[in-house]
């Protein structure tokens, strides 16, 4: 079994310790030769890096491990996989993405609505740079990307590097949902064969087959309608995530055909969800006071003690395991099935060819072999087309530096709808994102002053 060389970009992420634990747990199925972590923030990288040294000393002593803020050390010819989880602007900017729209009466969320728009406009530039840095050294390395907003990042990267077949954008939420279904049905989620369609953070499960070919979705729907819905790891979740999962019951009551991705709550019930959000204390504040604080304190403690044996630093197993099993399937040509983000090209027959859709695919050494889902009903097609138009206009606004397309994008977004609100939010976000976004110019004449 050939061992691989792996680079983690965004090594100072709050999700990294969980990923490192998964790397240890899977060292026999995905052996790593050299592992490097890269971050632009030296302090964050050092804390997680020192934790990693202790962890690997105990659980993976043969691993050749380094952490750095120096690109020269990170990008090398012999890389096989690059795992990316960066956040341009950090939590400081996430907080603005969430608070600015909320102050103007619109949903404030990091990947949905204007918050996702702002984050997308920031992420594209760094992601393009990352792909260029990797490709300057090797054409062969697989780039597996978690960086959000994955829908917008995937669309932008797909357009800028159309010939690059070794970039795969992934999201752990379908995996979180499958694990949650497993807990409700008391079954091993790895046995599920799911059918799923949509865009990232905007999709639905249509079927959930078991090992005998029975569709478990009708039974699951009944269980959700009678008993509600909770995440698999609800004991460790913050209240805001429990609230999000609990909205699935309402979505299924109103639209019982399929089982929705939790992010659809923001688009289907923007007013109801907005009422539950506090403009003075958003998810970014909850994460900074909770996960971020816990992860960094715990990593420092482990480094001081020199042992990780009693450490409970991992907060979500699905995230770290998912990217590793995806890499394993590609590395060893296993052809396992995963829900991933790919160019449509007929997979959903009645959606635009160039949409980046999320569907089930078999992942092989020669890339993803996705499963087509045929035609989808009008309601879902309509919702997705609106959202895809928003995503496409967002990427075009970035590429062309177009204020007009940015305004069109936000007006199309179901969390906004009103063109005047779209303009107010856009203007405030432009102000807040100076230095991160390209300059946006309007081709239209300025409105006459009265």
Known catalytic residues?
172, 263
**Beta-ladder partners of 84:** 9, 145
| Chain residues 80-119 in contact with ligand NAD, contact rule CB under 6 A | 85-88, 90-91
Q: Are 278 and 284 in contact (CB under 8 A)?
A: no
Which range in 35-43, 220-228, 270-278, 347-355 contacts ligand NAD by CB under 6 A? 35-43
283 contact, one of ligand NAD, Mn ion, ligand G6P, none, CB 5-8 Å limit per kind: ligand G6P
| Rounded least distance, CB 304 to ligand G6P, Å | 26
Q: How far apart are CA 26 and CA 82, in angstroms?
A: 17
| Rounded least distance, CB 225 to ligand G6P, Å | 24
| Rounded least distance, CB 69 to ligand NAD, Å | 8
A 10 A CB-CB count for 439 gives 8
| Rounded least distance, CB 71 to ligand NAD, Å | 9
| Chain residues 42-101 in contact with ligand G6P, contact rule CB under 6 A | none
Q: Does 173 bind ligand G6P (CB under 6 A)?
A: yes
Q: Are 38 and 9 in contact (CB under 8 A)?
A: yes
A 10 A CB-CB count for 240 gives 15
392 contact, one of ligand NAD, Mn ion, ligand G6P, none, CB 5-8 Å limit per kind: none
What one-character-per-residue DSSP string does 59-81 give? H-TT-EEEEES-HHHH--TT--E
Of the candidate residues 274, 283, 392, 421, the single one contacting ligand G6P (CB under 6 A): 283
Q: Does 326 bind ligand NAD (CB under 6 A)?
A: no
Q: Does 261 bind ligand G6P (CB under 6 A)?
A: no
Output the six-digit token pair for 227.
């008993």
90 contact, one of ligand G6P, Mn ion, ligand NAD, none, CB 5-8 Å limit per kind: ligand NAD
CA 388 to mean position of chain CA atoms: 17
| Chain residues 129-188 in contact with Mn ion, contact rule CB under 5 A | 171, 173
Which residues have C-beta within 8 Å of that of residue 371, sequence separation ≥ 6? Answer: 195, 347, 359, 360, 361, 362
Cα atoms in the 13 Å half-sphere on the side-chain side of 218: 2
Q: For the chain, how many residues are written? A: 450
Which range in 32-40, 302-310, 325-333, 414-422 contacts ligand NAD by CB under 6 A? 32-40
SS (H, E, C) 79-109: CCEEEECCCCCHHHHHHHHHHHHHHCCCCCC
CA distances from 163 to 60, 128, 139, 167 (A): 37, 14, 11, 10
Q: What is the dihedral of CA 260, 265, 269, 272, to 10 degrees?
A: 140
Cα angle 354-116-240, degrees, rounded to a multiple of 5: 125
**Number of residues forming the site for ligand G6P (CB under 6 A):** 8
CA 311 to mean position of chain CA atoms: 26
What one-character-per-residue DSSP string does 277-288 give? -BTTB-HHHHHI
205 contact, one of ligand NAD, ligand G6P, Mn ion, none, CB 5-8 Å limit per kind: none
Which range in 100-108, 171-179, 215-223, 351-359 contacts ligand G6P by CB under 6 A? 171-179
Closest residue (Cβ) to ligand G6P? Answer: 173
| Rounded least distance, CB 379 to ligand NAD, Å | 25
Sketch the per residue contact string, 132 through 161, with ligand G6P: x for CB under 6 A, - otherwise: ----------------x-------------
Q: Does 287 bind ligand G6P (CB under 6 A)?
A: yes
Using CB under 6 A, list all residues that contact ligand G6P.
Answer: 111, 148, 171-173, 176, 283, 287
Residues that bind Mn ion (CB under 5 A): 171, 173
Residues that bind ligand NAD (CB under 6 A): 9-10, 12-15, 38-41, 44, 85-88, 90-91, 126, 146-148, 150, 171-173, 319
């Amino acid at each position: 079994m050939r061992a691989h060389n792996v680079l983690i970009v965004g090594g100072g992420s709050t999700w990294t310790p969980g990923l490192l634990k998964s790397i240890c747990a899977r060292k026999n199925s995905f052996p790593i030769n050299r592992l490097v972590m890269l971050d632009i923030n030296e302090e964050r990288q050092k804390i997680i890096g020192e934790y990693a040294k202790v962890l690997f000393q105990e659980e993976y002593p043969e691993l050749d491990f380094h952490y750095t803020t120096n690109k020269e050390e990170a990008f090398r010819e012999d890389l096989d996989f690059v795992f990316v989880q960066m956040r341009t602007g950090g939590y400081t900017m996430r907080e603005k993405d969430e608070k600015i729209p909320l102050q103007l009466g619109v949903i404030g969320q990091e990947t949905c609505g204007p918050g996702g728009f702002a984050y997308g406009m920031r992420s594209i530039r760094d992601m393009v740079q990352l792909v260029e840095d990797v490709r300057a050294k090797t054409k062969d390395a697989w780039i597996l990307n978690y960086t959000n907003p994955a829908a917008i990042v995937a669309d932008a990267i797909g357009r800028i590097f159309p010939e690059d077949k070794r970039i795969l954008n992934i999201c752990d939420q379908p995996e979180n949902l499958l694990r949650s279904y497993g807990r409700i049905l008391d079954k091993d989620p790895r046995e599920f064969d799911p059918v799923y369609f949509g865009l990232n953070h905007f999709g639905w499960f249509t079927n959930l087959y078991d090992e005998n070919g029975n569709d478990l979705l009708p039974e699951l729907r009944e269980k959700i309608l009678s008993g509600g819905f909770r995440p698999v790891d609800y004991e460790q979740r913050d209240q805001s995530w429990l609230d999000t999962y609990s909205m699935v019951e309402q979505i299924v009551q109103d639209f019982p055909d399929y089982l929705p991705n939790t992010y659809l709550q923001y688009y289907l019930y923007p007013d109801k969800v907005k009422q539950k959000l506090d403009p003075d204390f958003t998810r970014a504040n909850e994460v900074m006071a909770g996960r971020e604080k816990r992860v960094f304190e715990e990593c420092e403690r482990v480094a001081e003690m020199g042992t990780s044996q009693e450490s409970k630093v991992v907060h979500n197993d699905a995230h770290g395991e998912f990217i590793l099993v995806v890499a394993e399937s590609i590395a060893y040509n296993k052809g396992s099935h995963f829900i991933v983000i790919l160019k449509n090209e007929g997979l959903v027959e009645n959606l635009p060819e160039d949409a980046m859709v999320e569907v089930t695919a078999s992942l092989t050494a020669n890339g993803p072999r996705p499963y087509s889902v045929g035609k989808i009903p009008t309601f879902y097609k309509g919702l997705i087309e609106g959202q895809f138009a928003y995503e496409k206009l967002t990427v075009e606004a970035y590429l062309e530096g177009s204020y007009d397309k940015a305004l069109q994008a936000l007006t199309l977004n179901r969390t906004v709808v009103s063109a005047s609100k779209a303009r107010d939010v856009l203007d405030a976000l432009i102000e807040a994102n100076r230095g991160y976004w390209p300059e946006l110019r309007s081709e239209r004449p300025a409105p006459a002053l009265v």
